Copies of this chain bind each other. A is one copy, B any other.
Amino acid sequence: MDTRRSPGEAGRHPPFGVAVDLVVLTIRDGALSVLLVRRGAPPFQGLLALPGGFVKAGSDADLDYAARRELREETSLDLPTATPQAGPQAGAGAVHLEQLRAYWRPGRDPRQDVATVAYLAVAPDPGEPAAGGDAAAVRWVPVDDVLSDATTLAFDHRQIVADGVERARQKLEGTALAAAFVPPEFTIAELRQVYEAVWGRPLDKRNFHRKVTGAQGFLVSTGRRASRGRGRPAELFRRGPARTLNPPITRPDGAPPHHPSA
Contacts and interface: CB of A to CB of B under 8 A. Distances in A.
A11 B111 CA distance: 6
Nearest to A113: B57
Contacts of A93: none
Nearest to A21: B3
* Copies of this chain present: 2
Contact of A115 (B9, B52, B58, B115): B115
B105 A102 contact: no
A16 B17 CA distance: 6
A49 B5 CA distance: 10
A1 interface: yes
A168 interface: no
Interface string A82-125: 00000000000000000101111110110111111100000000
A19 B13 CA distance: 10
A114 to B, nearest CB: 4
4 cross-chain pairs, A with B, having the tightest CB-CB distances, nearest first = A15-B15, A3-B52, A2-B114, A102-B102
Given A99-B102, A101-B101, 20 more contacts: A1-B19, A1-B108, A2-B17, A2-B108, A3-B52, A5-B49, A6-B134, A7-B41, A10-B111, A13-B54, A14-B57, A15-B15, A16-B55, A18-B115, A58-B106, A62-B105, A63-B103, A63-B104, A101-B102, A102-B102
